[in-house]
Structure 1
Amino acid sequence: MTPDQLSTAIVDVLTTLSDEGALALPDGVPASVTVERPRQKGHGDYATNVAMQLAKKAGTNPRTLAELVAERLRASDGIGDVDVAGPGFLNVTVEAGAQGQVAGEIVAAGASYGSATTLAGKKINVEFVSANPTGPLHLGGTRWAAVGDALARVLEFSGADVTREYYFNDHGAQIDRFSSSLLASARGREVPEDGYGGDYIQEIADQVVAKRPDVVDLPDDEAQEVFREVGVNLMFEEIKSDLRDFGVDFDVFFHEKSLHDSGAVERAIARLTEMGNTYVQDGALWLRTEKYGDDKDRVIVRSNGSPAYISGDLGYYLDKRERGFDLCFILLGADHHGYVGRMMAMCAAFGDTPHENLEILIGQMVNLLRDGQPLRMSKRAGTVISMNDLVDAIGVDAARYALSRYTNDTTIDIDLDLWEKASNDNPVYYVQYAHARTCRMVENATDLGMAPPADFDPRLLSHEREGELLRALAEFPRVVASAAELRQPHRIARYLEDTASVFNKWYDTRECRMLPQGDEPASPVNEARLVLTVAARTVFANGLGLLGVSAPERM
């Protein structure tokens, strides 16, 4: 019995009591109730405080309501016992058969176990990384590559239609500085003071010259345009290649320049003007964002006629909504924290609902440590550490897992010495090894002629360690649902580590051996434990897949 199944059973009891007139709830019976795994042994398999939540509305005290629910719940299928504790907690013990059946349900569901339809029909755009093509991806962008892709996977697993999008900034001052840096490098001059350094600038400049040999004979202004066009494309192709190697594939690469070329910006401004949300002052066009919660109104078009930076945001947001996206996510770095207020005000100015049609997630910094000391520079990328520096040090799996393992608002210190270890101290190794262990166990069973039976006796999974593992595996769908709802893929990583620990304790328990010993034939209990092993393998594989991390069969 899963937590959701128990929740349904409790709701059924409440509904019956309400129908019989034994329980009066003015707001009606809740659609679901919270069921949790108790922290202390001896408090049953699951616990709920539903009686404490509903007692006041029902005009009774929590303990009395808990006793009433407990009496009916004890008669439900799959329930072993129900105790009332303290002021009105319900501690529920599930029958071994009902608990063991979870393993069969997981095996039957396979790769779909943990998926849901809660976001079915929802079209979601997840825009992430979106680093300027002026250099290799730095660690901040790499964090969003891991987290953004994991979030997209979780949302898809919950039923949403997700588009992964990269906003390609090929318009603005940073591109000017990049192209002038390439030009200077090709001419053998010092890079401008506000330009870009690092060996990659010389590499890209050399590639541009190889593609366009005539550039060396052009005047500086014409040559810079060549370096802009060819150099930006070369840099961006490198970024895209690095992302693919990192396991991140985008559905859309959206060019900022296209917003201005297509008239999308003008169309957005016209829409806002029609809605009465713009005005002219001091020769500039302003957007009324203060009335929607921003700290001040924002200039859209400057008095000299040039568009302000926010004008591109207006065009881009409206373009996404016109493409049919119900919800637009934008994942930004820590230096964009002040950006949130104006973007939410912009969303409201279009008549949309902030945090419903637009969500912005802010990620904090990432630091790399070697021998306990922070790494500051990369020879190739200049003053920053790049994605490739991290991947070269610990590999794609460890990098993605390490970056997805923490809440977005936490600064991460990645200890390279730890994450490159092939030991249980390394979290990703610990989880991947648990999966590989299940694969080896299944392989050994196959060598003995065993196969997971379609029909097994779930009551045989009655050992305390088996109960703990079954309850852990049953939690997976709720963890995924929570990760989707709260936009926190790190919950899956922490869950996998906890579950790997529970699995290893079961594996190490002599009384829970899966394989028969010696020449003994496989017994029904061996077959039941094989089903449990396959269930654990399924959960580890599905969880690692949601993080974009491989689930190796051998290590």
Structure 2
Amino acid sequence: MTPADLSLTVLRAVRRAVDENALRAPVPARVRVERTRPGGRGDYASAVALQLAGPAALTAREVAEILRERMAGAPGIGRVEITGPGFLNFTLDASADVRGLLHRVREQGLRYGHGDALAGEATALRHAPEVRAAVTAHTVGALARAQGAHVDVLCDGAADPEWARLGIPADAPGRPTAPVTEIRPVPAGATAGELLDRLGPDASRWGLLRPAGHDRAPLGGELLVQGEANPLFLVRYAHARTHALTRGATLLGITSAPGEEPAGPTPAPRTRALLTLLADHPAVLLAAARHRAPDRLARHLEAVAQAFFDFHDAASPLPVGDEKPSAAHRSRLALAEAAGTVLAGGLSLLGISAPLYL
């Protein structure tokens, strides 16, 4: 269950309570849920009961009790608790959560996390005739289109022919027909040709997009280092490693199968960390589009890659030593493959290749 799924579940409980006349309050357009802070109860929390208490002429705890009754046993939710003045705390059903998440990633593939949250929105992204601005504008356009928006990208001056080698298509001609947003990151301090000669297209794009737009982009030889200290290498190596696991599993006659094991009733911390990041991927893509911040996606991919290696080291998806293939290995392999899919999909939106071998 993703945060968006949980938000809809809580919203349905509010509507049901209002329809049953147990709660006399306006139904909000959306319900906000957040991850609990360290030391808190459950996986997620919501303050919706505090929001509804005044209009309902009830205490927040009374509203929370009404909503808890209507969420008990909801698919994907293991437990609902009330804390403090009336916060609702949710512990997810780990096994259902894992199966549902991995099935969604498998079914949607590289489009996992794409959606229609920005459907109906139209914007024109205008950038200076400078390589970092051009790469950023076109990447923001790709992120927004993946959420259903209509986007044109316009350049203030003549485009550099070398931009095509960075995968930048021609900008939309003519005057904008939608509200204009200026894309003005700190300039790269080098031309596209100079970056391509030194770094190639993938390292150039990562170096331009990974820092926040208001920060200077480090564009040195560290982007080409073949080691885990280089975030770009870490992300692409993690992706390649997931495919190596699938190839190894095929040789052993093992196929991936999403099941209860890699989480079980109480997921191991490293497993849960990876699952959490995969579940957060749709929200990260939407936030990166809304805030015009591709660096958010790049940092998220780094976190997924590191969490994958932590998970892999703690619980190998392939048999080790005298181990025999088991359901546990099939489940772990499914989680590893989901991580690879998320990494490949994220890199694609950044315009960066995801090699199968490194």
Question: Corresponding residue for 1:44?
Answer: 42
* 1:123 CA drift (Å): 4.9
1:542 offset after TM fit, Å? 0.8
Measured in 2, the distance between the counterparts of 1:56 and 1:395 equals: 59
Partner amino acid, structure 2, of 1:152: G
Contact 1:398 1:428 in 2 (8 A): yes
Question: Is residue 166–residue 250 contact of structure 1 (8 Å, CA) maintained in 2?
Answer: no
What secondary structure does 1:422 align onto?
coil
Shift of 1:109: 0.9
Which residue matches 1:272?
A: none
RMSD after superposition? 2.4
Aligned counterpart in structure 1 of residue 94 of structure 2, from 93, 96, 106: 96
Matches within 5 A, 1:46-445: 46-101=44-99, 102-129=101-128, 131=129, 141-169=130-158, 239-240=160-161, 242-252=162-172, 254=173, 319-321=175-177, 327=178, 357-366=179-188, 385-408=190-213, 410-414=214-218, 416-445=220-249
Task: Name the counterpart of 2:254.
Answer: 450
Alpha-carbon shift at residue 486 of structure 1 (Å)? 2.1
**How far does residue 536 in structure 1 lie from its aligned partner after superposition?**
0.7
Cα deviation, 1:307-343, whole Å, max 9, x if unaligned, reads: xxxxxxxxx6xx432xxxxx2xxxxxxxxxxxxxxxx
Per-residue deviation, 1:516: 2.4
1:42 CA drift (Å): 5.7
C-alpha distance in 2 between matches for 1:448 and 1:124:
51
Asked if the contact 1:48/1:91 (under 8 Å) is kept, the reply is yes
Q: For residue 447 of structure 1, report the CA deviation from its aligned partner.
A: 1.7
Residue 15 of structure 1 deviates from its aligned partner by 1.1
2:4 aligned with 1:7, yes or no?
no
Give the Cα separation in 1 of the matches to 2:293 and 2:202. 19
Q: Which has the larger radius of gyration?
A: 1
- What is the aligned partner in structure 2 of residue 301 from structure 1? none
Question: Which residue number in structure 2 is paired with residue 33 of structure 1?
Answer: 31
Residue 413 of structure 1 and its aligned partner are, at CA, apart by 4.5
* CA–CA distance in structure 2, aligned partners of residues 539 and 57 of structure 1: 42
SS of structure 2 residue aligned to 1:508: helix
Which amino acid is the alignment partner of residue 139 of structure 2?
Answer: A
1:479 and 2:281 equivalent?
no
Shift of 1:111: 1.8
Q: Tell me if the contact between 1:461 and 1:528 (Cα under 8 Å) persists in the aligned partners.
A: no
* Long gaps (5+) in structure 1: 132-140, 170-235, 255-315, 322-326, 328-356, 368-384
TM-score normalized by the length of structure 1: 0.59
C-alpha contact (below 8 Å) 1:99/1:458 kept by paired residues: no
Deviation of the 1:116 alpha carbon: 0.7
Equivalent residue for 2:316, pick from 508, 513, 518? 513
Aligned structure 1 segments of 4 or more residues deviating by more than 4 angstroms: 121-124, 518-521
Cα displacement (A) at 1:41 = 5.6
Q: Distance in 2 between matches of 1:498 and 1:38?
A: 19
Contact 1:366 1:411 (8 Å CA) reproduced: no
Query: Cα distance 1:61–1:503, how it changes in 2: closer, same or farther (>3 A)?
Result: farther
1:504 aligns with 2:309: yes
Report the equivalent of 1:530.
333
Aligned to 1:212: none
How far, CA to CA, are the matches of 2:52 and 2:261 in structure 1? 34
Deviation at 1:110, TM superposition (A): 0.6
Structure 1 CA distance for aligned equivalents of residues 224 and 323 of structure 2: 41
Residue 538 (structure 1) shift:
0.9
Which whole-Å deviations, capped at 9, do the CAs of 1:388-445 have from their partners, x for residues lacking one? Answer: 333333332222122212333x131516253232222222222222212212111211
Determine the C-alpha separation between the residues in 1 that align with 2:144 and 2:75: 33
1:363/1:153 CA distance change after superposition, 3 Å: same
Distance, in Å, in 1 between the alignment partners of 2:133 and 2:52 is 42
Contact 1:18–1:24 at 8 Å: present in 2 too? yes
Q: 1:518 to 1:508 in 2, by over 3 A?
A: closer
2:112–2:282: 8 Å Cα contact kept in structure 1? yes
Whether the aligned pair in 1 keeps the contact of 2:239 and 2:356 (CA below 8 Å) is: yes
Alignment size in residue pairs: 354
Q: CA deviation at 1:35?
A: 2.0
Tell me, in whole angstroms, the C-alpha distance in 1 between the residues paired with 2:288 and 2:48.
23
> 1:145/1:83 Cα in 2 relative to 1: closer, same or farther (>3 Å)?
same
Over 3 Å counting, the alpha-carbon distance change for 1:446 and 1:246 in structure 2 is same
TM-score, with length taken from structure 2: 0.89
1:496-522 Cα shifts (integer Å, max 9, x gaps): 12222222221121xx22112346543
Cα deviations across residues 211-255 of structure 1 (Å, max 9, x unaligned)? xxxxxxxxxxxxxxxxxxxxxxxxx6xx21x11111211254x4x
- In structure 2, runs of 5+ residues without a counterpart are none
Report if the CA contact (8 A) 1:116-1:158 is conserved.
yes
Report the secondary structure of 1:320's partner residue: coil
CA contact (8 A) 1:99 1:467 kept: no
**What is the alpha-carbon distance in structure 2 between the residues aligned to residue 39 and residue 423 of structure 1?**
33
Instruction: State yes or no: 1:546 paired with 2:356.
Output: no
- Give, in angstroms, the shift of residue 87 of structure 1: 3.1
Quote the sequence identity (%): 34
CA distance in 2, matches of 1:149, 1:528: 37
Which whole-Å CA distance do the structure 2 matches of 1:468 and 1:552 have between them? 25
